[in-house]
């Protein structure tokens, strides 16, 4: 039965509460046609989020999973069962090659640790299947460039998981600043993130720069992607300061001491004269992020807040101020609660919508491998600047890595 434009809740469609309704009697709760099968490579917290939103979105199903950690497999199986109670169980593969080359599968979602991405992508790309690669696409400029080249030659969809551009606050900011041009030409970009420390990972790889790429690559590539997007051109220089002030100062794993920073200030200059700044603090008792765009016609501010207080402060906020030239307004951009609670304020869900739309040949705003590459370039330049105390010229950084772009 075709589905119209009435409100549909895909969670309800798969809820055991409504299991008594025969398939032929379902309309609002029709689960939709599962047209694609995906495998998840890496079944930790991010991989399980991808399993959840795939089950919610409805046009695809997770067929199988590969992860050497048995506890990650158990978590993935539990997540999968929530959306397919009593249905087909996950295939658990015993090798990366088997997971990538199963002919029953249309696409691969790669959510392995950062340092493994290039090796995993080489195997995945050889399969010719559609690929969604989690951020950061790599830990170094050279590895990111190698993945970009593989993506350019790839015969299917190759999407980078820079899903913050799908958070409701940034969707609205993109619409206002880049599509409507509400604030005129963007001149300055300011982004701030204050949050908890990095969470635990299997073998604690995210506490070490050689495995994560460093804090400004691992965590902040999302924000550098947004900066690049709003600047609408290439970065030319990066200057950053940062330190390890509070977190993991005495942390050791396998005889190695953690070497990641927990705070930073980053300034980026762009080829068209746009200036951008980023402020990171990872020892804050809240999750708070904010972006302010100033243009020659006005100012736009968006923020997202989770501070655990009982008061009624909204989770999201947006204001557009244009003085006496255009209307000024405020609001609280959001998705339905069941989507926002699925992960990253609903951004991962809509990233999956775009992934499947891309497979079906529709135009989307998902991050390309080239955009993923430039987010790594800015993050790697910022890490280098913190280490040396000197500004980094992007062309020089590329040449140092044997690249001319």
- Let me know if residue 3 belongs to a domain: no
Over residues 23-33, mean pLDDT: 76
234 and 170 share a domain? yes
Q: Does one domain contain both 157 and 169?
A: no
Instruction: Return the pLDDT at 26.
Output: 79
pLDDT digits (tens, 9 = 90+) for 225-243: 999 999 999 999 999 999 9
351 within a domain of the structure (yes/no)? no
Domain shared by 145 and 32, yes or no:
yes
Q: What is the pLDDT of residue 16?
A: 66
How does residue 30 score in pLDDT terms, banded at 50, 70 and 90? Answer: confident
Q: Of 84-93, 167-176, 348-357, 394-403, which range is least confident?
A: 84-93
Cβ atoms of 41 and 109 closer than 8 Å:
yes
156 plus 170 within the same structural domain: no
Q: State the number of CA atoms in the 13 A half-sphere of 189 facing the CB.
A: 28
**Rounded to 5 degrees, what are φ and ψ at 152?**
-65, -30
Pick the residue with more confidence: 148 or 23?
A: 148
Average pLDDT score over the chain: 93
Task: Judge whether 257 and 251 are in contact, CB under 8 Å.
Answer: yes
Q: Judge if 291 and 314 occupy the same domain.
A: yes
What is the reported pLDDT for 9?
61
Q: pLDDT: is 28 or 358 the higher one?
A: 358
What is the predicted pLDDT for the residue at 10?
62
Rg (the chain; Cα; Å): 21
Tokens representing residue 72 in the block: 């990650």
Same domain, 192 and 118: no
pLDDT in tens, 197-212: 999 999 999 999 999 9
Choosing from 145, 161, 177, the residue where a domain stops is 161
Query: Which region holds residue 254: left if phi is over 0, alpha if psi is between -120 and 50, else beta?
Result: left
Q: What's the Cα-to-Cα distance from 225 to each of 180, 235, 301, 379, rounded to whole Å?
A: 20, 11, 17, 10
* pLDDT score at 404: 85
CATH number at residue 18: 3.40.50.720
Same domain for 119 and 209: no
Q: For the segment 86-145, what is each residue's pLDDT rounded down to a tens digit? A: 678 999 999 999 999 999 999 999 999 999 999 999 999 999 999 999 999 999 999 999
C-alpha distance across the termini of the chain, in Å = 51
Look at residue 189 in the predicted model and tell me its pLDDT. Answer: 98
Average pLDDT over residues 161-181: 97
142 and 18 within one domain: yes
**CA torsion angle 353 358 364 365 (round to 10):** 90
Angle at 226 between CA 194 and CA 245, to 5 degrees: 30
* pLDDT value of residue 71: 97
Q: Is residue 107 part of a domain?
A: yes
pLDDT for the residue 348: 96
Domain boundary, last residue among 161, 194, 214: 161
The tens digit of pLDDT for each residue in 263-321 reads 999 999 999 999 999 999 999 998 999 999 999 999 999 999 988 777 767 889 999 99
Q: How many domains does the chain have?
A: 2
Phi, psi values for residue 36, rounded to 5°: -135, 155
Range of the domain at 143: 10-161
Q: Cβ(270)–Cβ(231) under 8 Å?
A: yes
Does 41 map to a domain? yes
Q: Are residues 184 and 320 in the same domain?
A: yes
CATH of the domain at 395: 3.30.360.10
Residue 7 has pLDDT above 80, yes or no: no
49 and 19 share one domain: yes
Q: Which of 161, 182, 206 is the last residue of a domain?
A: 161
- DSSP bridge partners of 302: 291, 318
Cα distance between residue 381 and residue 398, in whole Å: 10
**Is 348 inside any structural domain?**
no
pLDDT band at 24 (very low <50, low <70, confident <90, very high): confident
Across the strands, what pairs with 192?
279, 290
Q: Would the pLDDT of 195 be above 80?
A: yes
Contacts of 234 (CB under 8 A, 6+ apart): 228, 270, 271, 374, 394
CB atoms under 10 Å from CB of 319, counted, come to 14
Cα dihedral 243, 247, 251, 253 sign: negative
Q: CA–CA separation, 105 vs 38, rounded Å?
A: 6
Residue 247, pLDDT score: 97
> How long is the chain?
405
349 occurs within a structural domain: no
pTM of the model: 0.93
Q: Are residues 169 and 152 in the same domain?
A: no
- What tokens were used for 176? 């206002």
| Residue 5 counted as domain residue | no
Q: Residue 1: pLDDT above 60?
A: no
Whether the CB-CB separation of 239 and 392 falls below 8 Å is answered with yes
If asked whether residues 153 and 184 sit together in one domain, one would say no
The per-residue pLDDT for range 336-353, each reduced to its tens digit, is: 888 998 999 999 999 999
What average pLDDT does the segment 2-8 reach? Answer: 55
Q: Is residue 360 part of a domain?
A: no
């Amino acid at each position: 039965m075709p589905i119209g434009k009435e409100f549909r809740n895909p969670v309800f469609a798969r809820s055991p509460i409504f299991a008594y309704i025969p398939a032929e009697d379902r309309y609002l709760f029709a689960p939709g046609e599962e047209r694609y099968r995906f495998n998840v490579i890496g079944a930790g917290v991010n991989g399980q989020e991808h399993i959840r939103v795939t089950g919610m979105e409805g046009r695809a199903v997770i067929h199988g999973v590969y992860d050497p950690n048995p506890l990650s497999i158990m978590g993935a199986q539990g997540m999968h069962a929530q959306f397919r109670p009593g249905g087909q169980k996950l295939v658990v593969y015993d090798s990366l090659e088997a997971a990538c080359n199963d002919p029953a599968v249309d696409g691969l979602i790669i959510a392995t640790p950062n340092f493994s991405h290039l090796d995993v992508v080489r195997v995945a790309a050889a399969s010719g299947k559609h690929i969604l690669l989690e951020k950061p696409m790599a830990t170094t400029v050279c590895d990111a460039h190698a993945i970009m080249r593989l993506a350019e030659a790839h015969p299917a969809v190759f999407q980078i998981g820079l899903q913050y551009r799908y958070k409701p606050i940034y969707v609205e900011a993109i619409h206002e600043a880049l599509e409507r041009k509400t604030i005129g030409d963007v001149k300055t970009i300011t982004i701030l993130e204050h949050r908890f420390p990095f969470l635990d990972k299997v073998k604690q790889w995210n506490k070490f720069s050689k495995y994560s790429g460093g804090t400004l690559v691992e965590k902040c590539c999302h924000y550098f992607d947004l900066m690049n997007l709003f600047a609408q051109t290439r970065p030319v220089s990066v200057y950053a300061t940062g330190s390890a002030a509070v977190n993991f100062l005495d942390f050791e794993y396998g005889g190695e001491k953690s070497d990641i920073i927990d705070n930073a200030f980053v300034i980026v200059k762009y080829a068209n004269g746009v200036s951008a700044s980023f402020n990171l603090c990872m020892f804050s008792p809240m999750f708070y992020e904010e972006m302010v765009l100033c243009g020659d016609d006005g100012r736009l501010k968006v923020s997202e807040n989770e501070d655990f207080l009982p008061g009624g402060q909204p989770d999201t906020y947006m204001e557009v101020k244009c003085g006496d030239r255009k209307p000024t307004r405020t609001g609280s951009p959001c998705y339905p609660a069941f989507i926002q609670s699925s992960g990253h304020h609903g951004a991962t869900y809509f990233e999956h919508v775009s992934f499947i739309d891309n497979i079906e040949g529709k135009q989307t705003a998902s991050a390309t491998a080239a955009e993923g590459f430039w987010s790594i370039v800015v993050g790697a330049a910022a890490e280098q600047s913190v280490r040396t105390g000197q500004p980094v010229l992007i062309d020089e950084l590329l040449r140092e890595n044997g690249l001319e772009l």
